[in-house]
């Protein structure tokens, strides 16, 4: 099945290519990028993630796209929507997430890509709600959620089941956006 391509003012969200593997591994090896994600991962794990993102597209029709800035940078990271693969009080749920190489932070690109992913989720994939999660300390990620118009569910704080018990990154916050809230922000 062909992966849908999404175009925004500055970006192309597209299928993964073999040439993305090296730059994706490089950003996954950056301790600053991985600071709130349990630390850097090696090339093998990075490549395996790309495989799982593509499988997710096959299964669900949506997933985590490779993000390109046409004419500027062939690959800057990944943004997309995925079904949460574990159980929490708010699952089943689809989450929007983002991970960009550091050189491409602070230009509004994560937000621009995420808006396209949310539009696809609500308008094409027929989702009723999309959530987002992070650790309380990841203010940059929470700022993206807030810029997107997502609302923190203060009753939704939870311990991430894939983070070791007692780890400093175990506690997570939950943001939500309903299709109706999306429509109200993006009329027409």
Ligand X SMILES: CC(C)(COP(=O)(O)OP(=O)(O)OC[C@H]1O[C@@H](n2cnc3c(N)ncnc32)[C@H](O)[C@@H]1OP(=O)(O)O)[C@@H](O)C(=O)NCCC(=O)NCCS
Per CB under 6 A, does 107 bind ligand X? yes
Measured from the CB atom, the residue of 32 and 126 that comes closer to ligand X is 32
By the 10 Å C-beta count (0-12 exposed, 13-18 middle, 19+ buried), 166 is classed as exposed
Q: Binding ligand X by CB under 6 A: which of 17, 45, 147, 167? A: 147
Q: Binding ligand X by CB under 6 A: which of 144, 169, 173, 177? A: 144
Secondary structure in 3-state letters for the chain: CCCCCEECCCCEEECCCHHHHHHHHHHHCCCCCCCCCCCCCCHHHHHHHHHHHHHHHHHHCCCEEEEEECCCEEEEEEEEEEECCCCCCCCCCEEEEEEECHHHCCCCHHHHHHHHHHHHHHHHCCCCEEEEEECCCCHHHHHHHHHHCCEECHHHCEECCCCCCCCCCCEEEEEEEEHHHHHHHCCC
Measured from the CB atom, the residue of 17 and 147 that comes closer to ligand X is 147
Measured from the CB atom, the residue of 14 and 64 that comes closer to ligand X is 64
Q: Binding ligand X by CB under 6 A: which of 127, 134, 177, 182? A: 134
Q: Which of residues 83-102 bind ligand X (CB under 6 A)?
A: 98-100
Per CB under 6 A, does 105 bind ligand X? yes
Per CB under 6 A, does 111 bind ligand X? yes
Site string for ligand X, 3-42 (x = CB under 6 A): ------------------------------x--xx-----
What is the smallest separation between the CB atom of 1 and ligand X, expressed in angstroms? 27
Measured from the CB atom, the residue of 39 and 51 that comes closer to ligand X is 39
Residues in contact with ligand X by CB under 6 A are: 33, 36-37, 98-100, 105-111, 134, 138, 140-141, 144, 147
């Amino acid at each position: 099945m062909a992966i849908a391509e999404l175009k925004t003012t500055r970006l192309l969200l597209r299928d993964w290519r073999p040439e993305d593997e090296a730059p994706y591994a490089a950003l996954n090896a950056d301790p600053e990028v991985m600071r709130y994600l349990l630390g850097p991962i090696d090339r093998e794990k990075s490549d395996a993630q790309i495989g799982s993102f593509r499988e997710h597209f096959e299964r669900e029709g949506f997933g985590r796209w490779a993000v390109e800035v046409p004419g500027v940078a062939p690959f800057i990271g990944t943004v997309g929507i995925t079904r949460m693969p574990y159980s929490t009080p708010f699952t089943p749920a689809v989450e929007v997430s983002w991970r960009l190489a550091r050189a491409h932070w602070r230009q509004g690109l994560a937000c621009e890509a995420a808006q396209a992913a949310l539009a696809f989720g609500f308008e094409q994939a027929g989702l009723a709600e999309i959530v987002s999660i992070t650790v309380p300390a990841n203010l940059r990620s929470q700022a993206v959620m807030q810029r997107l118009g997502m609302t923190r569910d203060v009753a939704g704080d939870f311990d991430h089941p894939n983070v070791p018990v007692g780890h400093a990154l175990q506690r997570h916050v939950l943001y939500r956006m309903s299709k109706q809230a999306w429509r109200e922000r993006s009329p027409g």
